[in-house]
Every structure is written in structure tokens, then in C-alpha cells.
Amino acid sequence: MLLAGDVGGTKTLLGLFDPGPARPRSVVVRAFRTLDFSDLSAMIEIFIKQEGAKTPTIEAACFGVAGPILGETAELTNVPWRVDASRVAERFAVGRVYLLNDLQAMAYAVPALQSPEVHTLQDGAVLPEGNMALIAAGTGLGIALLHHVNGRFIPSASEGGHADFAARTEREVTLLRRLTTTFGRVDVERVVSGRGLVNIHRALQHEACSAHIDLDSIDAPAAISNAALERMCRCCTETLELFVEAYGAAAGNLALQTVSTSGLFVGGGIAPKILPALTAGAFMRAFCAKSPFEPLLEKMPVKVILNPEAGLLGAALYAKQICSTT
């Protein structure tokens, strides 16, 4: 049996998987609020206790974590946790424990996703020898690359979500000025993430928010998106419009940087929830508006990942892959 985890800034998924002949099959999956626990080991302990006698011998474990991996440890970017693979292995008597950046883990799932698990924003034309790339906005903004090497896609981690935010329009220049006053340096994550929605809303709030959203609430990003999609509030609508355009532009930048002619995938928790806004056209217009490379970008497949457990599946796939080669 394989133990997999997708550790995010807000929510963590833990699951047991049967390796299976093709892709791993989930046996049980549980969701936890990340900050309800002092560390990953405390969460795993509760998960195992919940399963009780049903928990079989765990052959290997892999955890996708929201932060850079240094050796066998990781300091999470938006959570005050330090994860140590060797300590997890020792505490739970698991022979092999691996850590991946959370987007790298999700990237392992991308080639295994089936048609019902994605929504196509642009059909494009897949070039089989080309690369793929993944961008995912949630609590933060994650990016991963999938290099095509000898007939296989090799995922690699990136901290590209913390690259500088590039304003393209007068509206975005105004936003950048206001965020610079607040934060100093403004990276893409300050705009394209759950927190980014709140930052944009605060920066644009030159008039009262008719949705009366508490911007300090953990649920504020969802409340802004919902109010915008339901056209309840002009400020929320403008916030989501700017967010979608910035998201599309960031995705287009990544597509150029990686030449992702086999596909650009949009993951994370936000995209499926705002799918009507992503399909309205502004996202793809911003994605393709990269003169003189519009013809290249217009041919790239662009898909939204609908499977909310894609990161967890990717971690299980990595554990399965390592077990089969060692």
C-alpha cells in the first residue's frame, strides 16, 4: 500500500492507494485543515488512528508540500511547518518516504489524467515531442515544468510563482503601484492566488463593496469570486476580471518560457470554482497576447484540471514509480 499526501497552505489531503497495474487506485482519502495541526506527523497519526485496523503495511510514502525541497526536508512557504522525510519514516515505520514540491507532485498526475478530469479552454494541436507546463493558483501560486525527455515527461519543481508581477495594462499598472506601496516588491502570487484576490479587491476598493465581505476572513477569496460570478458587487466583478486576465497572462508567460507545445495545464483549487469566468474569453486573450508569438500560443492546448485530488494522485504515482524501479 502507498501513503500519499498533498499538503497545501489551507487544506491537506492524505490517502492510501493500491499501486494497481496502471495508475494507483485510492482506497481512502481524508481532508484536513492544515493549520489545525502542529506538523505533518501529527496529522498522519490522526489519519492512521481514524483508519484503525484497516491500515495495512505502507510500502512507501510521498508528500507534495507547498515549498522548496532541500534534501529530505522542506520549509513550507505559507505554513509554519518543517517537514523531514526521515523523521516521518522513522516515526511510522515506513521504509521509503519522499518529498516533492506540491506542483511537482501534481505534474506527475498530468500525463495520467483522463478526459472527464480536465476542461479544455483551447484545443490547440498537441506536438508529441513538446513540453508541458502546469500553473496552479490556490492559497499561493505554484508552477511546474514537464520536460519531454526520451518519450517521457519529467516533472521539475519551480518557484516561478514568486517571480515579479508584470503589469500589462493601465489597470494593472495602477494595481501594481498600489500593491508596491503596501508590500514593496510585488510577485505574481500577490495577484494570482487566493490572497491575490483579496489584495486586488483592497487595491480597487475605491467604492463600497456591496457584498459586505470581510477581507480578513479565510473565506474572503471564495466570497469575492461568488459575488463576482453572481454579479452582486461591481467591485468584486472588477476584482475577478483583473484576476482572470492576470492569471491568463501568467499562464501565457509560462507557456512561452517552457514552449509547452504538448499542453499548458491550469490546476489548483480556484480554477474549477471560477470556470465560467475562465471560459468567458479574457483568460485566453491574455494568454495569447504575446506578440510576435500569438500564432505559437494559439496552437498550444490549454486545459483546466477538474480532479481535486490531482496532487494526491501525483504523489501516489511518484511513490509507485520509485517502488517499481528500486
Cross-strand bridge partners of residue 30? 14
Instruction: Tell me the mean pLDDT in the region 305-311.
Output: 97
Phi-psi region of 323 (alpha: psi -120 to 50; beta: other; left: phi over 0): alpha
Asked whether the domain spanning 120-305 has the same topology as the one spanning 2-108+309-325, the reply is no
Q: Which amino acid is present at 265?
A: F
What's the mean pLDDT when you consider all of the chain? 93
CA gap 203, 186 in Å, rounded: 13
What is the DSSP track for 5-72? EEE-SSEEEEEEEE--SSS-EEEEEEEEEGGGSSSHHHHHHHHHHHHGGG-----EEEEEESS-EETT
Neighbours of 16 (CB within 10 A): 23
Instruction: Tell me the mean pLDDT in the region 77-83.
Output: 88
Query: 77: which DSSP letter?
Result: S
Lowest mean pLDDT among 74-78, 93-97, 264-268: 74-78
Q: Which amino acid is present at 124?
A: G
| 84 pLDDT more than 90 | yes
More confident residue, 37 or 55: 37
182-238 tens-digit pLDDT = 999 999 999 999 999 999 999 987 667 888 899 999 999 999 999 999 999 999 999
* Sign of the C-alpha dihedral computed for residues 184, 185, 191 and 193 taken in this order: negative
Looking at domain 120-305, its CATH class is alpha beta
Whole-number pLDDT of residue 206: 62
φ, ψ of residue 82 in degrees (nearest 5) = -120, 125
For residue 101, give the C-alpha cell. 514540491
Whole-number pLDDT of residue 16: 94
More confident residue, 35 or 78: 35
User: Which residue is associated with the grid cell 510514502?
Assistant: 61
241-289 tens-digit pLDDT = 999 999 999 999 999 999 999 999 999 999 999 999 999 999 999 999 9
Query: Which of 212, 183, 181 lies closest to 196 in space, CA to CA?
Result: 183
Whole-number pLDDT of residue 201: 95
Whole-number pLDDT of residue 50: 86
The answer to whether the beta carbons of residues 307 and 117 sit under 8 Å apart is: yes
Looking at domain 2-108+309-325, its CATH class is alpha beta
Distance (Å) of CA 223 to CA 10, 31, 200, 216: 16, 21, 14, 12
φ, ψ of residue 96 in degrees (nearest 5) = -135, 125
Lowest mean pLDDT among 53-57, 61-65, 86-90, 195-199: 53-57
Confidence of residue 68 (pLDDT cuts 50, 70, 90): confident
Domain ranges of the chain: 2-108+309-325, 120-305
Please name the helix (run of DSSP H) or strand (run of DSSP E) that holds residue 63, with its range, or none.
strand 60-65
CA gap 296, 232 in Å, rounded: 38
Whole-number pLDDT of residue 204: 87
Give the chain's end-to-end CA distance (angstroms, integer).
16
Phi-psi region of 13 (alpha: psi -120 to 50; beta: other; left: phi over 0): beta
The answer to whether the beta carbons of residues 98 and 92 sit under 8 Å apart is: no
The answer to whether the beta carbons of residues 11 and 64 sit under 8 Å apart is: no
